[in-house]
Amino acid sequence: SKRDASQPEFIQAVTEVLNSLRPVVEKNEELYRKNAILERITEPDRQIMFRVPWVDDNGQVQVNRGFRVQFNNAIGPYKGGLRLHPSVNLGIIKFLGFEQIFKNSLTTLPIGGGKGGSDFDPKGKSDREIMAFCQSFMTELAKYIGADIDVPAGDIGTGAREIGFMFGQYKRIKNLYEGVLTGKGLTYGGSLARTQATGYGLLYLTEELIKCHSDNIAGKTVAVSGSGNVAIYAIEKAQQLGAKVVTCSDSTGWIYDESGIDVELLKEVKEVKRARLTEYAAAKPSAQYFAKKNGEHGVWQYKVDVALPCATQNELDLEDAKALVANGVKYVCEGANMPTTIDATEYFQANGVCFVGGKAANAGGVATSALEMSQNSERLSWTFEEVDSKLKNIMVGIYHNIDEAAKEYGMEGNYVAGANIAGFKKVVEAMLAQGVC
Ligand code: NDP
């Protein structure tokens, strides 16, 4: 609609979904039109925007903008992460919240779609500044969320530290100890395997995809972008499954390590020191570091069998897709949300690459968040193995669900369409049952 014209990422996400839903809608056109299903599903239930004032280490007051978009709660409480990055605006949060509806539906768990965050930049801030921001952010957000209303989680820039500060503030303001956030620390209601879940889940799905093409992930060469939460645990699981990851990146550059990324060193650099990849290259002689300029393919220029974009939206464009295809890539699965542009996705699909979009491939994170909610509700903690095996079952199930949905509508191998269709149908059924709301 014209009112969203200034939100390109939201338009991009909606365009991709609606295009692939055409065969589903055409089967039941009258029902969809009369109930305004597409109009309702693309309009958030609620969009909250607020001022976040906080004091920096020089005593200066800073002002950021906070967001929470509660998109759709037909199948459960709103659920989705909080992104802290200077690029955050309403359109970005809406695109992420919209995608979250379908992803959460695919997990088979009872969670609706939402997303939030702020244009705050955590880079270079002291722990005290991070705490001041998180407390101020939660002071306002607390009015709109709750364990049975809306349960935010981490995303870019929001890790265990930030979730901890936000949880502390929520508890203090509301005088309520409840599972209002996921991604919590293990001593206060967090779930084992949540840290690993998105990356591990991505690999469980990728492993199944490869297996169903009579192939084996062991021995494959892999390119990963990013070096944050999703990327690190994707690399770790890929290596456990016998693949070799030769490259990864951050927002300023990338590394190529022919001998395979040393994931323990990567964790030390990114999670403990919160440093740049230059430090990885300095500590590992087999690794080369390249600073990012403009227009080069970065991690996508190498000869790999599998590409796993795990950084951010629109980081893999048509030129990158051409470079990957020319180098023989066979499988591309998205760890990040919408990292591949629409033309690049179409290029992969037209060139025989098995491509699985983020809604399905990175759903392991939110699925495990929903398992964290279950544990909080029953006031119990499950073992790592219990959570991890549930995660694996969910990801394998998602692959077969989207594969079958694509086949049902005559689009075998189009996993993007399969994911959109399978996620959409469940939400629509719930919306129809609940009447006009
Ligand atoms: P992190 O903040 O932990 O890591 C993000 C990584 O991507 C970092 O290496 C960062 O570089 C890089 N990056 C971020 N923004 C940009 C940019 N504009 N250009 C280039 N590189 C960038 O985030 P996550 O790993 O949690 O999230 C990564 C992606 O996965 C996002 O799209 C997120 O929405 C999605 N996702 C995350 C889930 C989770 O459970 N965490 C669940 C499902 C999806 P640098 O190190 O320099 O900051």
- CA of residue 264 to ligand 1 center, whole Å: 19
Annotated binding-site ranges for substrate: 79, 100, 103, 154, 369
For residue 226, what are the CA distances in angstroms to 178, 232, 247, 300, 395? 33, 8, 10, 12, 22
Annotated binding-site ranges: 79, 100, 103, 154, 198, 229, 369
Q: Which pLDDT score is estimated for 40? A: 97
Would the CB of 122 count as within 6 Å of ligand 1?
no
Domains 2-191 and 195-356 share a fold: yes
Between CA 241 and CA 395 the distance in angstroms is: 15
CATH of domain 2-191: 3.40.50.10860
CB 75 within 8 A of CB 105: yes
Residue nearest to atom 20 of ligand 1 (CA): 251
> Catalytic site residue 143?
no
Q: Which pLDDT score is estimated for 312? A: 95
Residue nearest to atom 4 of ligand 1 (CA): 228
The contacts of residue 389 (CB under 8 Å, 6+ apart) are none
Residue that is written with structure tokens 């503030």 in the block: 169
Residue type at 245 in one-letter notation = V
What would the two tokens of residue 287 be? Answer: 């690794």
Between CA 202 and CA 49 the distance in angstroms is: 32
Instruction: Give me the residue spans of the domains in the chain.
Output: 2-191, 195-356
Residue whose CB lies within 8 A of the most ligand 1 atoms, among 107, 156, 273, for a mutation test: 156
Between CA 122 and CA 125 the distance in angstroms is: 6
ipTM more than 0.90? yes
Between CA 407 and CA 23 the distance in angstroms is: 12
Domain 195-356 in this protein, CATH class: alpha beta
Question: Residue-wise over 163-187: b if at least 16 C-beta within 10 A, else e?
Answer: bbbbbebbbeeeeeebbbbbbbeee
- CA of residue 432 to ligand 1 center, whole Å: 35
Residue whose CB lies within 8 A of the most ligand 1 atoms, among 85, 88, 106, 251, for a mutation test: 251
For residue 147, what are the CA distances in angstroms to 44, 95, 110, 278, 370? 20, 24, 13, 41, 11
- The parts of the chain modelled with pLDDT lower than 50 are none
Q: Which pLDDT score is estimated for 1? A: 67
Catalytic residue among 115, 125, 237, 390: 115
Sheet of 253-257, strand order = 287-291, 253-257, 244-249, 221-225, 306-309, 331-333, 354-356
